[in-house]
Amino acid sequence: MAPPPRRTREEEHAPPPEPTAWVLAGRAFVQGRLQSVEIAISEEGTILSVGKVRPGPRRHDVGEAVILPSATDLHVHFREPGGPSGVESIESGTLQAALGGVALVGEMPNTTPPVTDSEALADKAVRVHRRAAVDVLLYASPTNPRALRSLARRAGAFKLYLSPTTGIAEPPAPADLAPLLGRLGELGLPVSVHAEDPTEFETEVPAKDTVDWDAGRPPAAEQTAIERLLRDAPPSLRLHVAHVTLGSSVARLRRAGISFEATPHHLLLADRRDSDARRKVNPPLRAESERKLLWEAFVRGEVPVLASDHAPHSADAKALPFALAPSGMPGVETLLPLMLARVRAGQLPLPILTASACDRPARWLGQPHGRIAAGHRAHLLVVDFRQRTRLEGRHLHAPCGWTAFEGREGIFPREHYFYGRRIVADGEFVGGARGAVVRPEFAPTSR
């Protein structure tokens, strides 16, 4: 009889395989399609294996519902520290994420003070501890050259603004952009860029509605900023362009092989002649014909990442005359539900939604989740496509109490598992404050 194969040194020293703590069974999105499977999950919250039958001490069958990976929203503003009181916090923002099926958020640095040094970053990390419902990756702002190296060791990613916006008055001077991008390329962290070139802004006419706002920060501002970025970014930079609004930008960035995102508001809402400032946002909503081009590119799978740019402001601030109202709208809770409703309506293929909302954003941030596969974190959703709701600001969980998607259809996850523990049951939050600050664990693969 042949001797048993010799164990390699690694196998001899490998820890014993983790035991299955429980099994989730049902139709799940695995390897690009819905299949009936059983998912073995460890006590620590990792997917151990996926197969036809998995033995385990406890089994939960989701019946008619489907199992999807949780989403990652790599672009949110939770206004802490220094935000106006009652508008948002890390607690309230991560609660909305949990309820909307998002297991990880990327939180932006334009808070007060902005996250431009390690002290501000450490302060934010302390605020996440024991208060966040889901994991948080913290962006830093690369405006202070002396702080870059220490930020690169501690932050999760950088966010660079090429135009003034809420909390950011001074973008880098044009001559400084190439050296800064070169430096960021050496530091290795992912870099997301707000790509609007302010030299293209038309500031003469006061804006009375979103059509004027669109004319004031026109498509040319996005196109020019993207061209500058493509010219000045070194190949080593792990670049991502935030909230792209134009079909032509999709084509340009795809040709260049660069990661980018589109938001539900640019995909689903167009500018119009009314004074409702809840639709005021940077970059602006575009004309219906342009919105349609972006949506069609998204449906074809040409937009790598879906992200909310969750940026709430109080209802009072948004009731100011249009020109004075701040830009931004909430969206982390409705990111996935809005798009699940489009899947149900037959307008968006499920594989395109899971790739853009779950898989690619997690990979860009170097996180092992967003796929239902062995070795990935057990961040999982149970979605019943029959449970449709009409969105109403007062029933959502954003403290600002309003949504620009009022009356639209949404499908919210019935259950949400975070590291294998249930944090949403029957659409209600039943979790705790188990979210932590995370940093990239592997090099993002987008570029």
* Catalytic residue list: 309
Neighbours of 203 (CB within 10 A): 9
Closest CA to 400 of 308, 339, 336, 332: 332
| Binding span for Zn ion by CB under 5 A among 15-23, 267-275, 306-314, 425-433 | 306-314
Q: Where are the beta strands (DSSP E) in 149-265?
A: 157-161, 191-194, 239-241, 259-262
Neighbours of 29 (CB within 10 A): 24
Point out the residue whose Cβ comes nearest to ligand DOR.
328
Nearer to Zn ion, 88 or 309 (CB): 309
Nearer to ligand DOR, 26 or 328 (CB): 328
Give the DSSP letter string of 382-417: EE-TT--EE--GGGS--TT---TTTT-EE---SEEE
309 part of the interface to Zn ion, by CB under 5 A: yes
Choose the one of Zn ion, ligand DOR, none that binds residue 252, judging by a C-beta under 5 to 8 angstroms depending on kind.
none
Residues near ligand DOR (CB under 6 A) are: 77, 110, 165-166, 194, 281-282, 311, 327-328
Question: Which single residue is written with the structure tokens 């309506």?
Answer: 345
Q: How far is the CB of 295 from ligand DOR (least distance, A)?
A: 20
Q: What's the CA gap between 194 and 172, in Å, rounded?
A: 12
Q: What's the CA gap between 270 and 210, in Å, rounded?
A: 9
| Binding span for Zn ion by CB under 5 A among 120-128, 302-310, 336-344, 429-437 | 302-310
Choose the one of Zn ion, ligand DOR, none that binds residue 118, judging by a C-beta under 5 to 8 angstroms depending on kind.
none
Q: How far is the CB of 154 from ligand DOR (least distance, A)?
A: 22
Pairing type for strands 259-262 and 305-306 reads parallel
Q: How far is the CB of 259 from ligand DOR (least distance, A)?
A: 18
Nearer to ligand DOR, 328 or 444 (CB): 328
Nearer to ligand DOR, 266 or 376 (CB): 266
Q: What's the CA gap between 84 and 63, in Å, rounded?
A: 44
How long a stretch of residues is the chain?
A: 447
Pairing type for strands 33-42 and 20-30 reads antiparallel
Choose the one of Zn ion, ligand DOR, none that binds residue 281, judging by a C-beta under 5 to 8 angstroms depending on kind.
ligand DOR
Q: How far is the CB of 194 from Zn ion (least distance, A)?
A: 7
Binding site for Zn ion (CB under 5 A): 309
